Amino acid sequence: MLTLLIAIGSFFGFLVAYHTYGRWLARKIFSLDAEAEVPSKQLQDDVDFVPTRKSVIFGHHFTSIAGTGPIVGPAIAVFWGWLPALIWIVVGSIFIGAVHDFGALVISLRNRGQTVGEISGRMISPRAKILFLLILFFALAIVIGIFGLVIAVIFSNYPSSVLSVWAAMPLAVAVGYLVFRRGVGLFWPSLMALVLLYACVVIGAYWLPIKMPTIEAFGVFGTPIVLWTGVLLVYCFIASVLPVWVLLQPRDYINSQQLFVAMGLIIVGLAVAGFTGQLDLAASAPAIAEDIPPDAPLIWPFLFITIACGACSGFHCLVASGTTSKQIACETDAQYVGYGAMLTEGALAVVVVLACCAGVGMGVVDSNTGETLTGRAAWLSRYQAKITPVLDETGQPLLRNGKPVTTGGWKNHSLFQKVGAFVDGGANFLSALSIPLKLGTAIISVLVACFAATTLDTATRLQRYVIQELGSSLNFPPLRGKYAATTVAVVTGGAIALVPGPAGPGTGGLILWPLFGATNQLLAGLAFVVLVFYLMRRNLPIWFAAIPMVLMLVMPGWAMLHQILNDFWPNRSWLLLAFGIAILTLQVWMVVEAILMWPRAKGVLEEALPPLPSRSEVPVEG
């Protein structure tokens, strides 16, 4: 019953927060106005700026900010125990993450859909804009590289997910055409697409799992992971330059429906398992883990960068100000989309925590012995803290490259084991509804892959905006065109994804994963800086944003510095060290810029945007 009570209590808390704190922000702080002009109508071009009903834009925004973030982060963080993860998710979502997303969306709406990085040039200083845009470029390059690799590995590990993920693309194009060009209502086309998507899940699970073959003629670049990564990056280029109504909006809307169906099934399964006594959270996993190995990072500050999406994530400010603000049709929709979507993501993160603890405790198969483990033994098979040596057939420690091979600990549990814990736990919840475990595994793995795909192509479009803004700011015309900018975005992301590792190209990209959390959260802190300047220039209260700003600057900065001094430098991880120092230097520099501007900004409105050109004067983008 504890598992069920935690789920119900968290969801109720999110609902109350939306109608109290969210409403206070919307009415008393931001003064949302239904009659205000919005960028989607001011600059409508039916490519990036497209007025969209709030139900559709909610689906796009939610699936874009969610991705695998609220799955991966909580799935890793329960290594420290489920209680700290739950507290940070609930408190962070309500008072930090949702405020961050909502604020970034409102500021962009009132600045013609510009990204937060572009807006910082007028809120703080022109130099701050360049610094912010460079930080965004580094962060998005890591996102594209990492998530491209993550999806490729999911496709390789769960071939039953491949058919459904790719089937969603033509289905989304068909829905987009019917709704936006033929004027058909959204409900029936999207419902039919959802039914067909789940039919593909069943087909993929039982009859048509798709495996990428190894192409030996390509040498080290012919492995399935490398080939899938290449295919995904080509898709990202196409998705980034297409009008949003063709693929991005309808695909994200269908994915949001898929998520709500899957979440509904998981929650109902959780309830049934709870009432029937199949769940025991306390017996399955520790509330606060005690046997923390020496190779694990400190819970303080690393909890705050491990769980980003689901509590607070800097990537969200890019989605809010990069794509969503260009599609909001009415300013008052911002609370529903900006604040509400973040709370929904928090609810997903709560479900992930419960699945990785109580769900895994329902039973998993030990990959070494084939034995079905339950309770604490099942959880330890995924999160064993104790480091033990692996013995060879003679009983001696097994060596690899002259070093003992071990199990357990932090570093021996890969990212994909953590994602697998959610897949296993979620499938167990579905099994309480008599859904076969094989089908349940396919449903959850498709959910993960689809959400990773939405993050990937949204990040590519956002990177295109950032590169175009850098091209304009640095007066470099070749980068102003969307095709050139998208090419740079795809090539840099692909280069990161295909960093050589122990097993060749495509296996070393995850060495950048430690940078993702800290960089992502530093972005959130910098977005809060811009929000505080926006409020201060208008003599509005700043305390509700200033407190999260300090937290989201100090914690990830502390974590990044700790990694540089205690991990990257001692281990001679030169790539990580270079990225880490560059990102931390840019962040400190921008904070200094903000401190210098602070005394001159209070009560002084920023420079106004130039008048909009007439339609005949708008240049055609190439």
At 212-249, the pLDDT tens digits run 888 888 777 788 888 888 888 898 898 888 887 788 77
**What is the tens place of the pLDDT at every residue in 259-279?**
788 888 998 999 899 888 888
CB atoms within 10 A of CB 165: 25
Assess whether pLDDT exceeds 50 at residue 616.
Answer: no
| pTM of the model as a whole | 0.88
Print the domain residue range for 301.
2-603
**What is the tens place of the pLDDT at every residue in 137-180?**
888 888 888 778 778 878 887 888 889 888 888 988 898 888 87
**What is the tens place of the pLDDT at every residue in 330-359?**
999 999 999 999 999 999 999 999 999 999
pLDDT in the model for residue 514: 66
Q: What string of DSSP letters covers 190-227?
A: HHHHHHHHHHHHHHHHHT----PPP-GGGGGGGSHHHH
- Phi-psi region at 221: left, alpha or beta (left = phi > 0; alpha = psi -120 to 50): alpha
pLDDT in the model for residue 547: 96
Q: Across residues 523-537, what is the average pLDDT?
A: 94
pLDDT in the model for residue 618: 45
Helix, strand, coil percentages for the chain (3-state, nearest 5): 70, 5, 25
Query: Largest alpha-carbon pair distance within the chain?
Result: 81
Confidence of residue 453 (pLDDT cuts 50, 70, 90): confident
- Between CA 214 and CA 54 the distance in angstroms is 44
Cβ burial of 506 (10 Å; 0-12, 13-18, 19+) is buried
Confirm whether 150 is domain-assigned: yes
How many folded domains does the chain comprise? 1
Q: Tell me which of 43-57, 92-106, 290-304, 400-414 is least confident.
A: 400-414
Confirm whether 622 is domain-assigned: no
Q: Across residues 569-573, what is the average pLDDT?
A: 83
Confidence of residue 532 (pLDDT cuts 50, 70, 90): very high
Confidence of residue 48 (pLDDT cuts 50, 70, 90): confident
Q: Tell me which of 109-113, 124-128, 344-348, 553-557 is least confident.
A: 124-128
pLDDT in the model for residue 1: 72
pLDDT in the model for residue 614: 63
pLDDT in the model for residue 513: 65
Confirm whether 614 is domain-assigned: no
- Between CA 243 and CA 320 the distance in angstroms is 18
Confirm whether 302 is domain-assigned: yes
pLDDT in the model for residue 431: 92
- Between CA 145 and CA 506 the distance in angstroms is 10
Confidence of residue 427 (pLDDT cuts 50, 70, 90): very high
Q: Across residues 478-495, what is the average pLDDT?
A: 88
Closest residue by Cα to residue 147 from 459, 356, 422: 459
At 332, which amino acid appears? Answer: T
Confirm whether 621 is domain-assigned: no
Assess whether pLDDT exceeds 90 at residue 297.
Answer: no
Q: Across residues 532-549, what is the average pLDDT?
A: 95
387 versus 479: the higher-pLDDT residue is 479
CB atoms within 10 A of CB 495: 13
> Taking all residues of the chain, what is their mean pLDDT, rounded to a whole number?
86
Sequence-ordered list of residues with C-beta below 8 angstroms from that of 510, at least 6 positions apart, any chain? 146, 149, 415, 501
- Between CA 355 and CA 62 the distance in angstroms is 21
Assess whether pLDDT exceeds 90 at residue 47.
Answer: no
pLDDT in the model for residue 520: 86
CB atoms within 10 A of CB 61: 31
pLDDT in the model for residue 14: 97
Q: Find out whether the peptide bond into 611 is cis, omega within 30 degrees of 0.
A: no
18 versus 234: the higher-pLDDT residue is 18
Q: Tell me which of 83-97, 209-223, 391-405 is least confident.
A: 391-405
Confirm whether 620 is domain-assigned: no
Distance of CA 164 to the CA centre of its chain: 20
- Between CA 223 and CA 392 the distance in angstroms is 29
Confirm whether 609 is domain-assigned: no
Assess whether pLDDT exceeds 50 at residue 577.
Answer: yes
Q: Which residues of 241-255 are buried (b: 16+ CB within 10 A; e: fewer)?
A: bbebbbbbbbbbbbb
Assess whether pLDDT exceeds 70 at residue 38.
Answer: yes
Confirm whether 420 is domain-assigned: yes
pLDDT in the model for residue 441: 87
Token output for 406: 């071990």
